[in-house]
Structure 1
Amino acid sequence: MYSSCQVANATPPSSKLQSPFQEQAKIYTGLGGADENGQCVCKVFLPDTSFPGDKVELLQKTSMELSQKVELGLSKLELHKSKLVIYAQKMAQLAMRVEIMQGQAAQHTELEFELLRIELQQMMTLITQLKQSVNSSSPIFDTLYVEIRNMTLVVNRLERYDKNNLLVMQHEFTKLQKKLEECQKWHEESSKPNIGFCNHAGISNISKPYIVQLNAHINEGYLHGGWGKDSKPKPGFEEMYWYSGYTTPYTYNLYLYSDYTNLLLRNQFKYFDNTLKGNGINNIMHGNYYYYNCYNTGNLCRMNATTFEVETRVFPDAAWNNRFSYSSATYQDFDFAADENGLWVIYATEASKGNMVLSKMNVDGFSAQQTWVTNVFRRSVSNAFMVCGVLYATRQMNLYTEEVFYKFDTKTGKESYISIPFNKQYEVFVYLDYNPADQRLYMYSKGYYIYYNVKFEMI
């Protein structure tokens, strides 16, 4: 037992300290002594007793940020890897399509090439974006970019090849089309006589119906009317068209159009609305005169389209007031017709017992020049027209087929039954007239303008 305090160096019982900071700590003993109670007291001094917690916190934060960046980088790599797989599949599909198109370039359209070029451009843009996002000059991206660019060049070359083929084909088609047009023109010229001449043996057939459009009133309720061209136009009015129509079988108006385009546009340059008054609608424009049946009489009327003057001629023997009208329309007591030989009127009389009577008109004197009586009952006829001095009559075969069944030649006085069927767009028509100026038949049916091309039998 010691009675006094000793000063000595002290060391911990273990040579291994608990922390790196304790390794640098040394225990020093200094002056010692006994306290008031006789106990031995020693003073120990450490160089630094504070623990660096702030440094540990910073280290942990830095470690966590690095860990997050690593995880984000790994996720990006996984995403880029999946994108590369998708792009590789797309590249394979595009390569296959280009290969197919290389073998069949001429069979593809310009649109197909354009769509393929767009897809390649999209691929190139995606590869560029992927490369920028990775911020790398990896040879993989460089290779993909080069392959897409080369594929685009191939597509452009194929398209030029395709366009060249299309141009060649188009050129050949144009040449063929021109030859066909020349052949058709030759055929039409060889099968169609000169306008105004009658160097043929009569009508051989009638074309299909050509529907122009609904009437100027734009109303199917205007069932009664007629249209066409002036059959003997004045100089400067060769392309003029006319139209007259109403809801009942009476004449109340007349519209004139400078040409076919204005007819379609319904842009008349002159019109007479509710200034005319006549029966029936089988009227005609001939030599700048509009010919029609005077209202509620058996007389003929004509109006000068320039001066608006109206002349009247009496036909004392003609039956009127719907006595012997056509089977297709009512109040068609007089049917005006024109051909290469001039102006005609088709009607019936009590003396002819309702059979058709034909009169050649003297235009200058507005009177009947010569008359022929036929053996065809007028009510059995749906309509009639004149071509080169020959009267042709039609009748209904079925709902949509009409037939030219009869003709009467005024030069020989001979009549005969024939059969030239032609189609109708609608069941009933009220107007049918031949125009020698263009060798067409003009029909008015259910409010529509319709025409036919007439073909002739060559001598």
Structure 2
Amino acid sequence: MLSVQLLLLISPVLAWIPVEDWESGNVTASVGDSGQCLCHVYAPDTTFPADRVEHMQQVSKDMIIEVEIQVNKLVSYEAKLHVYLKDLSELTVRVAVLESSPDKYIKLDFELLRIELREFEALVSQLKESLNVSSPLFDSLYTEIQNMTMIVNQLETYDKSNLEVIRIEFAKLQKKLEDCQQDQDFKPDIGNCNGTGIVGLSKPNVIQLNAHLSSGYLQGGWAKDSKPLRGYESMYVYGAYTSSHIYDFYLYRDYDSLILRSNFKHYDLPNGWVGTGSNFAVRGHSIYYQRSTYDMCKINVTSNSYDYRAISEASGSFSYSYSTNQILDFAGDENGLWVMYASEASKGKIIVAKIDEKSFGIEDKWNTGVYKQLSGNAFMACGVMYATRSVDLTTEEIFYALDTRTGEEKNLSIHFPKFQEKYSYLDYNPTDQKLYMYNHGYYVSYNVKFN
């Protein structure tokens, strides 16, 4: 029995007792010895479910924590979704412009749009999987992306003949504008090597990202034939890789084809002929590249034949400061075909070797006074080897020259700006007196000024 003073304390207990278990005879009242009023309660089940209460409390805490986690996720996804929607809105505007004026754009514009649309589709898929829900908003985004892809495909097929003519004219105009933008002091005197050498470079002409449209292709380069066959004077060769291995080369008939990534020939190097390093040279319709530490390789583009020669003294311990595996560095200029390397005997200093193009052997060689590992790169022009090094993040310097005709060495200080800090390829071409650089995945060129 419980007194009325304790009734409030037991009320939580009574609340757990089902109503149907109560009977009218279970509650009685009486007067105590001191005249106080007493209330007597007979509970049918006095056992308090403490374990159930504890379980409910734990479940409640877990649910609160889970709700907080999900709320934080929603906040994060909402922020991401706003960013994606903004980017998608901007892309929609670009597609609308393309749709209104399709004849003002080239094939590359359509390909870039497709790539961005694929990226948006992947982002929306990732977001949907993260939320693990189905929403009309996601369905709407998918529909809009698919519609935009269809529009891009339709625009590219619109009036193809007219678009092709406009594309060619646009590329020609772009080339003329690029030439006009160069410093007017750089007027080439093709084939003339009577001066005292290089005295300056123009500002860098950043053409575009590589043919793979990926900044991950850091190793490799692009070049023109330094002694082209008739009909191939405008040919370009490109080969770039995500590692220091050379797997293939792409050949383009002219500048327009290079910009549009429309190659006329693609070489997949067969087993046993895969190259290494970040350098190659094109001369006489042949591509020269490094197969191993010691081997010079040659692909004859006309006959599709392969050949190699070993330079036994070349050492794999010495490479340029910007490249880890550029042991043999090929170059072609007004005076012939060259290869530069370092050996243990030269103590890491660059050796310049003249290659006999007919026998594919070493004709002559010269020792230089410049350490290869301290040089960013090197190239040949008019029989003179020039070495470069970094001044700061945006400036490079031609600091050394060796004239193979006289054996004279010079210390120079010819500064020129660079697009990115490090580059993997630097090659001079005598047919247009330009310096070709492959800088962080981008085609870059310089006009060379001679004295």
TM exceeding 0.5: yes
Matches within 5 A, 1:227-376: 227-275=222-270, 276-294=273-291, 296-320=292-316, 323-376=317-370
Q: Alpha-carbon deviations, 1:352-405, whole Å to 9, x = none?
A: 011000001100110111100011111000000011111100000000100000
Alpha-carbon spacing, 1:206–1:189, altered in 2? closer, same or farther (3 Å):
closer
* Kept in 1: contact 2:275–2:290 (CA 8 A): yes
Q: Alpha-carbon deviations, 1:278-321, whole Å to 9, x = none?
A: 11021111111110111x3411100111222110101111112x
* Partner SS for 1:261: helix
> Given residue 280 of structure 1, which amino acid in structure 2 is its aligned partner?
G
* Partner SS for 2:240: strand
Aligned residue in 2 for 1:420: 414
Quote the Cα distance in structure 2 between the aligned partners of 1:243 and 1:355: 29
Q: Alpha-carbon deviations, 1:33-53, whole Å to 9, x = none?
A: xxxxxxxxxxxxxxxxxxxxx
Equivalent of 1:403 in 397, 403, 407: 397
> Given residue 276 of structure 2, which amino acid in structure 1 is its aligned partner?
N
Tell me, yes or no, if structure 1 residue 391 matches structure 2 residue 385.
yes
Quote the Cα distance in structure 2 between the aligned partners of 1:395 and 1:212: 23
Q: Alpha-carbon deviations, 1:135-158, whole Å to 9, x = none?
A: xxxxxxxxxxxxxxxxxxxxxxxx
Aligned residue in 1 for 2:77: none
1:188 Cα shift? 8.7
Aligned residue in 2 for 1:436: 430
Alpha-carbon spacing, 1:431–1:229, altered in 2? closer, same or farther (3 Å):
same
What's the TM-score, normalizing by structure 2?
A: 0.58
1:274 Cα shift? 4.8
* Kept in 2: contact 1:215–1:447 (CA 8 A): yes
Quote the Cα distance in structure 1 between the aligned partners of 2:397 and 2:325: 22
Matches within 5 A, 1:37-116: none
Unaligned runs of 5+ in 2: 1-175
Matches within 5 A, 1:65-214: 192=187, 194-214=189-209
1:273 Cα shift? 2.9
**How large is the RMSD of aligned CA atoms in angstroms?**
2.0
* Partner SS for 1:201: coil
1:249 Cα shift? 1.2
* Partner SS for 2:410: strand
> Given residue 194 of structure 2, which amino acid in structure 1 is its aligned partner?
N
What's the TM-score, normalizing by structure 1?
A: 0.57
* Partner SS for 2:297: strand
Quote the Cα distance in structure 2 between the aligned partners of 1:273 and 1:265: 20
Quote the Cα distance in structure 1 between the aligned partners of 2:391 and 2:183: 28
* Partner SS for 1:232: coil
* Partner SS for 1:200: coil
* Kept in 1: contact 2:293–2:327 (CA 8 A): no
> Given residue 312 of structure 2, which amino acid in structure 1 is its aligned partner?
P
Aligned residue in 2 for 1:225: 220
Quote the Cα distance in structure 1 between the aligned partners of 2:318 and 2:442: 26
> Given residue 440 of structure 1, which amino acid in structure 2 is its aligned partner?
K
> Given residue 229 of structure 2, which amino acid in structure 1 is its aligned partner?
K
* Partner SS for 1:337: strand
Aligned residue in 2 for 1:215: 210
1:456 Cα shift? 1.1
Quote the Cα distance in structure 1 between the aligned partners of 2:231 and 2:269: 27
Quote the Cα distance in structure 1 between the aligned partners of 2:194 and 2:186: 11
* Kept in 2: contact 1:215–1:448 (CA 8 A): yes
> Given residue 260 of structure 2, which amino acid in structure 1 is its aligned partner?
L
Identity %: 49
* Kept in 2: contact 1:193–1:200 (CA 8 A): no
Q: Alpha-carbon deviations, 1:67-106, whole Å to 9, x = none?
A: xxxxxxxxxxxxxxxxxxxxxxxxxxxxxxxxxxxxxxxx
* Partner SS for 1:235: coil
1:251 Cα shift? 0.8
* Partner SS for 2:422: coil
Quote the Cα distance in structure 2 between the aligned partners of 1:433 and 1:336: 8
Q: Alpha-carbon deviations, 1:170-190, whole Å to 9, x = none?
A: xxxxxxxxxxx9xx99x9999
Aligned residue in 2 for 1:26: none
Equivalent of 1:381 in 375, 387, 393: 375
* Partner SS for 1:242: strand
Q: Alpha-carbon deviations, 1:222-243, whole Å to 9, x = none?
A: 0111101111100000000010
* Kept in 2: contact 1:360–1:369 (CA 8 A): yes
Q: Alpha-carbon deviations, 1:238-292, whole Å to 9, x = none?
A: 0000100100011111000000000000000000135451110211111111101
Quote the Cα distance in structure 2 between the aligned partners of 1:341 and 1:189: 27
1:191 Cα shift? 6.3
Quote the Cα distance in structure 1 between the aligned partners of 2:372 and 2:350: 5
Quote the Cα distance in structure 1 between the aligned partners of 2:225 and 2:418: 24
> Given residue 410 of structure 2, which amino acid in structure 1 is its aligned partner?
S
Quote the Cα distance in structure 2 between the aligned partners of 1:188 and 1:444: 21
* Kept in 2: contact 1:192–1:456 (CA 8 A): no
Aligned residue in 1 for 2:56: none
1:412 Cα shift? 1.2
* Kept in 2: contact 1:193–1:199 (CA 8 A): no
Alpha-carbon spacing, 1:220–1:189, altered in 2? closer, same or farther (3 Å):
closer
Give the structure with higher Rg (CA): 1
